[in-house]
Amino acid sequence: MKPIIGVSSSLKEETLTVSMDNIEAVAAFGGVPFVLPNQVGDAIDSIVEKIDGLLLTGGGDIDPTLFGEEPYNGLGSITPERDAFEIAIIEKMLTLDKPILGICRGAQILNIAVGGDMYQDIYSQTEKKLLQHDQKAPRWHASHFVQVTKGSLLHEITQSEGFKVNSFHHQANRMVPTGFEVSAVSSDGIVEAFESKSHKFVLGVQWHPEYLLLKNETTSAAIFRAFIEACVK
């Protein structure tokens, strides 16, 4: 039986949206995509019971009060309902050790849920010269390199210590808590991936592998394949 994958959704003006790239990526590697509502409460237990894995998708910014900060000028639009829902479902999934793959915003909310923190805006909160992390290129174009930690889950999946990724963000993870580790960084030191050291499959990536699949990029295919296989197991 194919695994059921909960796919998180954006919420704007009472409308749920999710990119078809996420849906098609899950389906392409044998999963059944199930779009999730942004509603907290008793429904979360029932949802977690029925899904085999969780795909945390990209989207808008995250409420900084969740990690003890007030909003800076560089902060964009936030959706408190989505933040609350995703943190609640992440906590349930981690307790049951069910696989999680976080993409861009999904990687950030995953880190916040486990006690990490983040940059509200990397360009105003870091003094070093940064790469263009909000690329001016097609979504399927890989625009900069990442360096992968040898021996990490990401390294095991991709069989590579470095590759190119696309980039569409101005926020990024900063501190990753105990029990988790950074598994990829860009050349300017921005965290590009992190993972759990105690769960079977919990991985967050800052780029968008679902977009890179449009060009049959092998590293992205390996990530989605490994995620779906972990959900089967």
**Residue 231 annotated as catalytic:** no
Q: Tell me, what's the pLDDT at 2?
A: 95
Q: Write out the E strands in the chain.
A: 4-7, 10-12, 15-17, 32-35, 53-56, 100-103, 118-119, 144-148, 162-165, 172-173, 180-186, 191-196, 202-205
Catalytically annotated residue among 133, 169, 199, 208? 208
What is the rounded average pLDDT for all residues in the chain?
A: 95
Structural domains present in the chain: 4-232 (3.40.50.880)
User: Per-residue pLDDT for 195 more than 90?
Assistant: yes
Q: Tell me, what's the pLDDT at 1?
A: 86
Calculate mean pLDDT across residues 207-211: 98
Catalytically annotated residue among 104, 192, 195, 231? 104
Q: Tell me, what's the pLDDT at 131?
A: 87
Task: State the DSSP code for 134.
Answer: B
Percent of the chain surpassing pLDDT 70: 100
Q: Tell me, what's the pLDDT at 42?
A: 83
Of residues 7, 37, 39, the one with CA closest to residue 21: 7
Q: Tell me, what's the pLDDT at 220?
A: 97
Task: State the DSSP code for 64.
Answer: G
pLDDT band at 199 (very low <50, low <70, confident <90, very high): very high
**Residue 208 annotated as catalytic:** yes
User: Per-residue pLDDT for 82 more than 90?
Assistant: yes
Calculate mean pLDDT across residues 130-156: 94
pLDDT band at 159 (very low <50, low <70, confident <90, very high): very high
User: Per-residue pLDDT for 127 more than 90?
Assistant: no
Catalytically annotated residue among 86, 192, 195, 210? 210
pLDDT band at 40 (very low <50, low <70, confident <90, very high): confident
The whole-model pTM stands at 0.96
Q: Are 187 and 179 in contact (CB under 8 A)?
A: no
User: Per-residue pLDDT for 121 more than 90?
Assistant: yes
Phi, then psi, of 170 in degrees rounded to 5? -125, -10
Helix (H) or strand (E) holding 232: helix 218-232
Distance CA 209, CA 207 (A): 6
pLDDT band at 224 (very low <50, low <70, confident <90, very high): very high
Calculate mean pLDDT across residues 11-32: 93
Q: Are 120 and 75 in contact (CB under 8 A)?
A: yes
Higher pLDDT, 13 or 29: 29
Residue with tokens 């972990």: 230
Percent of the chain surpassing pLDDT 90: 88
